[in-house]
Structure 1
């Protein structure tokens, strides 16, 4: 791939990392190079995807499962009504996020958001935190939410459960591992002095806090579904994002941080929705026979247009190749749980803003019960909320809409 005066070979992962490069020419070149590389392998991946789906459909037919979503809904302890209500609420509030995409596109001189500009940074963050400063900031912010969360984070740092050194030959991915017998967790990340690393650290501490809440629960009731596995981590991120925004001193810094928040919203409300729509429509058509590469690309385009309400230009039509979740052989639809976890966390966060510090006790009780109840019963017991209705999901989405409004006000 050409970058300035030099050409160099990059892996798929390295090419993906260029999506947030500050130079638009490099972002665009990376996008084109990725599509070209995927096109060379599309026939092979179409064959693999068709084979996986065909085998699964036959298994479901033999087991007399009524619908392709039956198994993933059971695994996630969700009713179809809940999933439908969540997507319905997202569709209802989609306009503000298309406004955000169009507003950001105009900053790059375009009328529509180009896919290779979505991850581009907007504004600039001058907040640089050493690891020690990040620890202090997280402890202060978590304690502001609740004493239990703050005390737990202090224990994790004090007992050195976090391995965050920035050194060569180390993965940049964040990870949290639970050790149920000792009631401890271990966190792994490569810390760099920027807000993204602070958020990653908070995210993994959120996972560890969920594990800590479960330590007194019987082993058979500790396995919580994927749909709520990201709730505590997203919740912890939200606490930190709001705290960082409060400390932002300039317009550029606020833009940078709001853009970081809104990219998360768009990914969960629109990108994940496109994956869900693609997989749903793909399986419906696969019942009738194998799908060609051309048809798979068409389905991907249709899913993008619907999920983004046609506000996204030049998307990766071959993202069905590089999205690993489509190739998981255990069960399909490894997509909607992300949106559920994100939006459920936002709804919990909205509740915490209403109630204040006393909410922490109920929050911990909810996490503790997450491995032994359906998510409808969990929400009703601890929140008094019916998550099969649009109204519940709207509470969390409205928080993100406020972010859009502030973002649009700053760029206007």
Structure 2
């Protein structure tokens, strides 16, 4: 059998040829800008007494959204592979301005929809039955929309601070073992086999965070200050109002999930203590959390990782298997370890060509394989929705993490079932439990921090020292006191705190994790309908509330704790099994 070599560098030329100097991209943006101006005029002159013009308006909204998303994803990819690309930085600013104008026009549409007489509203729905959910949502959201003046300021005010964070973070380098590394490369060393390297990388990053914490505090404060100002202008008092609306989730659902998490900390603290003991510590150090337990085939070549992923995806079903083939064969993945790459892994969707691009720094470990699988799960979500029109593809963050988590489970389940020794089983359980700790402890800590930070920010600027204190307190509660020291600069290196499009991008991960666990457990008994049911759920993810989606596809009420307990029980079993295996191996 011939060995296949897969290129770990993606192909962007098939999207727009020429990089940041692309004439094709320039033409695309100019055309989109003209289209945007035409739409602006149509919306301003549209009388709410007449449903006729809305047919063109909804068509234009879809086409412009598709075009803007295509251009934005391309620039995101260019900057991820080289943050020093100044031309790409300039174009990103232009695209951000166009997106802000688009959102401002969409806001006008929402407000006009809220003022349409009932007979006009019924005519609009009759013309656009596929958009009933999203249009109803827009009509109901109208009162929460920022004014046109605020929307126009967001490009150079709000979103600009988020971009400054990304650029600043990408420019930082640290020295470990004499090598100058990017933040992403240094963070990857958290899973290095040598504990001394893990600790040195951690210390080097802490020194860098301490050096720059004043600047990061300014960025975070300005982001939160602008956000709170928008909320105030819209009459929003609770900082969770917007995140819950964005995630199409009821507060009762979030509260039920959080209660289950709060009640089940101890088993995961026990796992951390057991792992710490295996590493020779009495209590878990944060920089040893990612340590890989002894496992055969620790170093995984990229080609081997690709073959493994293709095999596992194909085991789910034909659609998922063919998707993996296309993603790797057509150059959708950039996994090479090289300088100047940004630290954060991501998946970017290209809706005009129905493609995706996946970005990460592959570190030749099983964890690296899982990171690649996670991002490919996002790409599969995009693939599943390619037949859905663009407005109904805008699924919330809570559901965005479902496919990625599901893909990880496919890998972990197969790996555990094929494990031949206790050492291998312990290794896989450790990888599974790392995800549980992240979702039930780390992300809970982030949620606590973000909520308390916003409350303090209402009263004024929050200093870097106070941010450290808030982070320490949140981590202690989130981890139930199970760490030896608290990485107080988590608020700096966690990019989710700086995402302008998604405040409180923490609980959506946990939602997606537990939802995927529940679906995976049900789907295993579905036989041949396994992949079909999964695809159906993903297709509906942009046109239903979270509660309705889960009721339709799983028959469960997610406002009740029982649903979340079912997923949690699977994770608790992992913890029990890990502790038993660890004790047996110690003997």
TM-score w.r.t. the length of structure 1 is 0.89
2:536 counterpart residue number? 365
Larger relative contact order (C-alpha < 8 A, sep ≥ 6)? 1
Find the partner of 2:415 among 231, 236, 244.
244
Q: Which runs of 5+ in 2 are unaligned?
A: 1-173
Find the partner of 1:104 among 256, 271, 275.
275
Greater Cα offset, 97-106 or 56-65 = 56-65
Find the partner of 1:402 among 570, 573, 580.
573
Find the partner of 1:87 among 253, 258, 282.
258
2:230 counterpart residue number? 59
Change (3 A) 1:384 1:197: same
Change (3 A) 1:270 1:180: same
Q: Which runs of 5+ in 1 are unaligned?
A: none
Deviations 1:85-142 (Å, cap 9, x if unpaired)?
Answer: 1111112222111110010111123222111111111122327766665555445433
1:160 counterpart residue number? 330
Q: Displacement of 1:385 after TM fit? A: 0.8
Q: Displacement of 1:151 after TM fit? A: 4.5
Find the partner of 2:190 among 16, 19, 25.
19
Find the partner of 2:216 among 45, 49, 54.
45
Q: Secondary structure at the match of 1:207?
A: helix
1:382 counterpart residue number? 553
Q: Secondary structure at the match of 2:281?
A: coil
Change (3 A) 1:140 1:51: closer
Change (3 A) 1:330 1:105: same
2-side partners of 1:18 and 1:192: how far apart? 9
1-side partners of 2:440 and 2:196: how far apart? 28
2-side partners of 1:313 and 1:18: how far apart? 20
Find the partner of 2:521 among 339, 350, 368.
350
Q: Displacement of 1:167 after TM fit? A: 7.8
1-side partners of 2:364 and 2:468: how far apart? 40
Change (3 A) 1:354 1:393: farther
Q: Displacement of 1:182 after TM fit? A: 4.4
Q: Displacement of 1:231 after TM fit? A: 1.0
Greater Cα offset, 339-348 or 287-296 = 287-296
2:399 counterpart residue number? 228
Find the partner of 1:297 among 464, 468, 474.
468
Contact 1:2–1:29 (Cα < 8 Å) also in 2: no
CA-atom RMSD in angstroms: 2.8
TM-score w.r.t. the length of structure 2 is 0.64
Q: Displacement of 1:9 after TM fit? A: 4.8
1:114 counterpart residue number? 285
1:260 counterpart residue number? 431
Greater Cα offset, 253-262 or 205-214 = 205-214
1:333 counterpart residue number? 504
2-side partners of 1:39 and 1:322: how far apart? 12
